[in-house]
Structure 1
């Protein structure tokens, strides 16, 4: 199976590399990419030859968040369409989160919004020093809703409050402190750092690894259908608030929104 927005390669050891492949768009999440990521997660889950999955991005950015075209579509959409889009994103994150293989994030550049959500569903993520990150939704009058269950599960509530509401950008070293990254390394050392995370799994029993991962999810914060639906409703409510219309209009018009104070 081929993809338009992704690359999927598997080496002789059974290490699959899933690459977000819209470098000219900073790997922003379009509806097509969300759908293809969901398909790829299902394919990887079913492939017994795959032992480990590495998630990364092509180009300078890991993932810049939501695609601008997607945001324009959401502005014009009704509540049901907005909810369907949010559920598609939630389904993709859930498919990656529940992948019965270790998922290693190779975070080679910046990540915002939905990119933070994808980092949060990795079992471990290694990033480059100098990269910038942020949950920037509130600048647009929105909230990090659909990704929220995974972000809060990864960071913990107290740590999440440091960055969840402020839209403040932070560096790779703070991402480590927040629990979002396991390590931050120089760019030349990234592949070696990722390999150090991958290699131990190749000596482990695959079904035992899958069972151990499933147990960590069962023992950790519960992200069930009710939690996902709650996040969807919260996002739709924000889309229908006048703040979102103002924030997104200001973004496209390259001006400050009415609430911004110099």
Structure 2
């Protein structure tokens, strides 16, 4: 029996795949645990420089599995707290992964799936993709994914999307900042590969440091001038920074570029 979550690593690229096409890649507590485990595994692979989150079949993810939701509704508040903490941990782990992340969205993305999209650095979607934050229609709230979706599209837009649970299309998702690039279904894999190649042109340490910088700025810096000056000075004198500057001035390929 195939695993519902598959991690493959080829050189500098890791691909984390939701592999439950017959259930529209809906996730439950088992799949959440697997995703967390695989993301932690990626952190240990020093050669990996970019992660692609993707799924099989026509849907990206239908969000929460209905049988999981039915089961959780029969359990206690304490048990539901433990379960919800795991979903929150998944979102945090993906959002704070040290390396750049790309999400490939080929179809319908509902509920918690939009949380996964919001936690990735770059979202590339088919122009046929559809989106919905449907939790309020079930008497629930997009709570654990909320901070990441609000960060992605803004609080004002989330008032509309969270409270109406309306369906929205790929063009709207791009206009509102949930998705960065829209392409046809036939161009989707090519666009993902192109974005991977762009990332791999950058210094590995510089990519990680820059991702951390963005998070630091979002949280707020007590002394932004000092913090940012320290970062650029440290990178300039680092082995990677010296190699990159030398390659640039001598019109050579940087040592981290393999092709």
TM band (smaller chain): 0.7 to 0.9
- Contact kept, 8 Å, 1:160 with 1:178, in 2: the verdict is no
Report the count of equivalent residues: 220
Q: Map Cα deviations across residues 78-123 of structure 1 (whole Å, 9 max, x no partner).
A: 1001111110000011111111111001111110001000000010
Choose from 103, 122, 128 the match for 1:105. 103
Number of the residue aligned with 1:11 = 10
Counterparts of 2:8 and 2:65 in 1: how far apart (Å)?
25
Counterparts of 2:125 and 2:16 in 1: how far apart (Å)?
16
Counterparts of 1:93 and 1:85 in 2: how far apart (Å)?
13
Residue 194 of structure 1: how far off its partner (Å): 1.1
Choose from 34, 37, 40 the match for 1:36. 34
Residue 196 of structure 1: how far off its partner (Å): 2.2
Residue 58 of structure 1: how far off its partner (Å): 0.6
Counterparts of 1:221 and 1:154 in 2: how far apart (Å)?
14
Residue 45 of structure 1: how far off its partner (Å): 1.3
**Secondary structure of 1:184's aligned partner:** strand
Choose from 146, 149, 155 the match for 2:147. 149
Gaps of 5+ in 2: 221-259
Choose from 61, 85, 88 the match for 1:87. 85
Number of the residue aligned with 1:245 = none
Choose from 41, 52, 55 the match for 1:54. 52
More relative contact order in 1 or in 2 (CA 8 Å, sep 6+)? Answer: 1
Number of the residue aligned with 2:25 = 27
- Contact kept, 8 Å, 1:63 with 1:111, in 2: the verdict is yes
Q: Map Cα deviations across residues 205-241 of structure 1 (whole Å, 9 max, x no partner).
A: 212211111121121158xxxxxxxxxxxxxxxxxxx
Choose from 207, 213, 217 the match for 2:215. 217
Counterparts of 1:83 and 1:154 in 2: how far apart (Å)?
25
Q: Map Cα deviations across residues 113-168 of structure 1 (whole Å, 9 max, x no partner).
A: 01000000010101111111010001101110010011101111122223121110
Counterparts of 2:78 and 2:3 in 1: how far apart (Å)?
27
Counterparts of 1:212 and 1:25 in 2: how far apart (Å)?
37
**Secondary structure of 1:54's aligned partner:** strand
Residue 68 of structure 1: how far off its partner (Å): 1.0
Number of the residue aligned with 1:246 = none
Number of the residue aligned with 1:227 = none
Residue 202 of structure 1: how far off its partner (Å): 0.9
**Secondary structure of 1:18's aligned partner:** strand
Larger radius of gyration: 2
Number of the residue aligned with 1:117 = 115
Q: Give the root-mean-square deviation of aligned CA atoms.
A: 1.5
- Contact kept, 8 Å, 2:106 with 2:128, in 1: the verdict is no
Counterparts of 1:150 and 1:52 in 2: how far apart (Å)?
20
Greater mean deviation of Cα atoms: 160-169 or 72-81: 160-169
**Secondary structure of 2:14's aligned partner:** strand
- Contact kept, 8 Å, 2:55 with 2:61, in 1: the verdict is yes
